[in-house]
Amino acid sequence: MGIDIKTLVRPHLLNLQPYASARSEFSGEAQAWLDANENAYGTPGRSIETAFHRYPDPYQIALKQRISEIKNVPIDHIFLGNGSDEAIDLLIKVFCRPGVDNIVSLPPTFGMYEVAASINDVKVRSASLTADYQIDRATVESSIDENTKIIFFCSPNNPTGNLLAADDILYFLENFSGLVVVDEAYVDFTGQTSFLKKLADYPNLVVLQTFSKAWGMAALRLGAAFASPSILEFLNKVKMPYNVSMLTQQTALKVLQNIRQYQSYIAAIKNQRDWLVTQFQSLETVEKIHPSDANFVLIKFINAPELYQFLVDQRVIVRNRSSVRLCEGGLRITVGTERENQLLVDAISQYHPKAEKTLNA
């Protein structure tokens, strides 16, 4: 599908001159760094070799090189940000005119799409998933108008845990004239092919991934957007100059050397996910177990809000999704360690729904 990305960009950004930081004007080795008004003496309490007194690489080249090797995606197709939340915000900022344009979201889904749109004064058009949490093409199509710039597909979906049908996503990649964003935060747990393989075929495709989940770097705040250089050019224009800290870059580089441990963690999580499902099948309070391709499971319980509070009192914390449409009665439960999962099952086993109050005659 031939799409000129520049026709989708907010017009005033086309000729924007981004802020030129000291480290973007010069990169490489130097005998004396005297260009960025840093504290040349270092960081109190740290040796000069481990200090944080120099600004980080604003384009994270070394880290992108490692990610390129792992994901088999060219460096110029990679954008790194402060979690994938930053990429979501920047996509809306770059492509959606406040008060005019809109995005399409498929609830129940990740809430950040709607929050980021609302912050940027961009309308959200909801195209509800079906009862089995799949894409309804007709519903999505009826939500699109001439001012729709982005459709967000979360697959595996949060909070439902399931993969969306790839053919339905491909349909909109081929028939929608705006951006199609596929959020793959949980793809590592699926064993399915990522939409990264489709980047060369669709210039309007953006794939979001995160290093918070399978790679265990939630505290570092590192997310990625994979897309054509024509899209990422504008994300790099509007991002903050040093949006990924040196500490994050250095630590992530070290973590990404440990492929085998990453793979073993994924295997352990999937095994524990299967164990949890088996345990839930024998609990009387469970009404339905939704199939999951992620590192969490959505479970429908009898009197979920009461059970949620009971678990809080036991200091076992899950996510209450029971008030979300199509997730009524649902608690979203992250797969924990063997110990944590056993604590959860034991706690739920001790829970007994309160008897309904009988009315006096």
Mean pLDDT of 10-25: 90
Window from 15-24, 186-195, 333-342 with minimum mean pLDDT? 15-24
Name the one residue in this structure whose structure tokens are 């079906």: 130
Two tokens at 53? 């007194």
DSSP state of 14: T
Q: In Å, what is the CA distance from 317 to each residue of 63, 235, 348?
A: 34, 36, 12
* Digit-coded pLDDT (tens) for 102-113: 999 999 999 999
What's the mean per-residue pLDDT of the chain?
95
Confidence check: pLDDT of 1 > 60: no
DSSP state of 191: -
Q: What is the pLDDT of residue 358?
A: 39
Q: What is the pLDDT of residue 212?
A: 98
Q: Indicate yes or no: pTM above 0.85.
A: yes
Mean pLDDT of 29-57: 92
Two tokens at 70? 């792992």
- How far is 24 from 28, CA to CA, in rounded Å? 10
* Digit-coded pLDDT (tens) for 73-86: 999 999 999 999 99
Identify which has the larger pLDDT, 61 or 2: 61
CA angle 225, 327, 157 (to 5 degrees): 20
Q: Under a CB-based contact definition with an 8 Å cutoff, are residues 293 and 162 in contact? A: yes
Two tokens at 150? 């982005």
Identify which has the larger pLDDT, 344 or 27: 344
Name the one residue in this structure whose structure tokens are 């009192």: 313
* Digit-coded pLDDT (tens) for 233-291: 999 999 999 999 999 999 999 999 999 999 999 999 999 999 999 999 999 999 999 99
Domains of the chain, earliest start first: 5-21+58-257 (3.40.640.10), 260-349 (3.90.1150.10)
- Which residues fall within 8 angstroms of residue 344, CB to CB, at 6 or more apart? 276, 311, 316, 318, 333, 336
Q: What is the pLDDT of residue 359?
A: 42
* Digit-coded pLDDT (tens) for 162-176: 999 999 999 999 999
Confidence check: pLDDT of 56 > 80: yes
Two tokens at 249? 């870059």
